[in-house]
Amino acid sequence: MDTETTTDARAVRRPRSWIWAPLTGIVSALVLLGGAEVLAAIFARSASPVLAVGSFIVDIVPRPLKELAITLFGESDKIALLVGVGLGAVVAAAVAGALEYRFRVVGAVLLAIGGALATAAIVTRAGAGALAWLPPVVGTIAGVAILLVLTARLRRWAADAAAADAPAAGVDRRGFFIVSGIAAATAIVVGVGARVVNVATASVAAARDALRLPAARSTVTVPAGADLGVPGVTPIITPNADFYRVDTALTVPNVDPTTWRLSIEGMVDTPIELSFDDLVGMGLDEYGVTLTCVSNEVGGNLVGNAIWTGVPIRDVLRKAGPQSGADMVLSESVDGYTASTPLSSLVDDNLDAIFAVAMNGEPLPFEHGFPVRMVVPGLYGYVSATKWVTKLTVTRFDQAEAYWTPRGYAAEAPIKMSSRVDTPKIGNPVPAGNVVIAGMAWAQPVGVQAVEVSIDDGDWQQATLSTPINDQSWVQWKLDWNADAGTHYIVVRARDKQGNLQIQEQAAIAPNGSSGWQRTLVTVS
């Protein structure tokens, strides 16, 4: 209980342990993290406890929660996760501080267990170096030591105050706050500074800026009529800054093209390893390809189209010589992510599966896979579009599985034909009279033959299509509508060049992509 006792006309204030004990735990956790970040900057750049624990959580979270996070936060899901990890760490640290004050050593053990879990998360990550254990272990030792020191001072303050020893209680109180303040401030300044230095020194921005790629032997020309010029419709070429990003990397890997290597092994006649110069030296060409995330809902925006520059994967695989019986290629990123791609999709002469090194005329952005990523038309990204790719293992589907397969997604996932309405949008009333309904449609790698629109469950009307770049890219569509005032429902569907109709049956994104016709509500004033 908090009380005040007067001795020699001086107040002897007992500490509010319900406030200061949890604070000791939070300060100790800051010291743990700050110390780990400093050592990580020196010895092991990937050994950040927060990032490692966050990545571990990404790996173990059940599929429905992953889908919910993408739905709620979109491309900010990683920021939301890091904030959640941080808040969880604060709560756990506060509990450790409170327990240490009430029960000696218990809080210290709890903090040590937290450090041990962080250490395990770090050393088991792909690419963990020989010294990856050092930052979290030393940080944990420092954090536990500070917790013991601060708790001892807090107990002395409480004991001297209870004994009505004002001078001693005052000294203990000042000492407690001084040590707490110095420890917290140092941990924050040093830890944040180390993280900034870690990111800055690991950055290869200068190398990317200085990179000069050979001229492409063939280029993609966007034909006249590829963009219908309808306000509110997505551009036919998605700017790099607007291209969707969905991956499992909490921090964007920084890979120096001068040290990057691509190895091809497994069921091959000749295992090979290529440098970046080896790859681009094979000759570059441009390809227009639309990419789609399996998490894209019907009518969603996790889809984009770009002009990619790269080397056909089939040409690289030919150097290694895939063996008879192989039917899958397991691609691996520098951060350990893996994807399972049918071998047939990578060696097909009629399918432009590539190792991309440039996007819309510039080297790949870091968040989109610099220096090299995979782009495979007609397959959802989780089974094909590996960013920061560094290894291909030629194997079989019955012998290996990729990151998402044990998490409830199909091992093979062709993109489902889809169409969406971009304008008019729900919640944005339009005036009566002539209204242009417009949107996007894609049917990779076959191509879109037609888009049809039904208004208020009426007859299907054929929309006008934009001139396609190729069959591997999406198209725009539009339909002129003489709209009457009121509320109306618009439904859109597509047909591909093989005569197939877009699937009407509604399906969730798992296990192999959503399906259904988009039905949208429009208010005409």
Longest dimension (CA), the chain: 97
376 and 277 fall within a common domain = yes
In a domain, residue 309? The reply is yes
pLDDT tier, 304 (very low <50, low <70, confident <90, very high otherwise): very high
In a domain, residue 100? The reply is yes
446 and 395 fall within a common domain = no
- Domain containing 271 — which CATH number? 3.90.420.10
165 and 274 fall within a common domain = no
pLDDT tier, 198 (very low <50, low <70, confident <90, very high otherwise): low
Which pLDDT value is given to residue 18? 79
| Dihedral angle sign, alpha carbons of residues 440, 444, 450, 453 | negative
Say how many domains are in the chain.
Answer: 3
In a domain, residue 278? The reply is yes
Q: Which of these three, 407, 437, 453, is where a domain ends?
A: 407
Mean predicted confidence (pLDDT) in 86-95: 86
90 and 147 fall within a common domain = yes
Average pLDDT, the chain: 88
Decide if 294 contacts 409 (C-beta within 8 A): yes
The 3-class SS string of 365-393 reads CHHHCCCCEEECCCECHHHCCCCCEEEEE
In a domain, residue 113? The reply is yes
In a domain, residue 228? The reply is no
Q: Which domain holds residue 331?
A: 257-407
Strand, coil or helix: 165 = coil
Higher pLDDT, 136 or 197: 136
Considering 6-10, 63-67, 315-319, the range whose residues carry the highest mean pLDDT is 315-319
440 and 355 fall within a common domain = no
Residues facing 440 on adjacent strands: 420, 476
Which pLDDT value is given to residue 9? 36
In a domain, residue 501? The reply is yes
Global pTM reads 0.73
181 and 34 fall within a common domain = yes
187 and 271 fall within a common domain = no
Distances in Å between the Cα of 186 and the Cα atoms of 50, 89, 181 are 18, 19, 8
Pairing of strands 475-483, 433-442: antiparallel
Distances in Å between the Cα of 455 and the Cα atoms of 174, 226, 279, 484 are 75, 25, 51, 11
Q: Which of these three, 153, 179, 197, is where a domain ends?
A: 197
376 and 431 fall within a common domain = no
Which pLDDT value is given to residue 188? 80
108 and 192 fall within a common domain = yes
Is the pLDDT at 358 greater than 90, yes or no? yes
Q: Which of these three, 378, 407, 436, is where a domain ends?
A: 407
Lowest mean pLDDT among 11-15, 103-107, 479-483, 510-514: 11-15
Instruction: For residues 48 and 41, give the distance between their C-alpha atoms in angstroms, rounded to a whole number.
Output: 9
Residues facing 455 on adjacent strands: 490
361 and 491 fall within a common domain = no
pLDDT tier, 134 (very low <50, low <70, confident <90, very high otherwise): confident
67 and 136 fall within a common domain = yes
Q: What percent of the chain has pLDDT over 90?
A: 60
In a domain, residue 5? The reply is no
Mean predicted confidence (pLDDT) in 431-456: 96
Mean predicted confidence (pLDDT) in 72-81: 68
In a domain, residue 234? The reply is no
Which pLDDT value is given to residue 10? 46
187 and 303 fall within a common domain = no
- Domain containing 513 — which CATH number? 2.60.40.650
Q: First CA to last CA across the chain, in angstroms?
A: 66
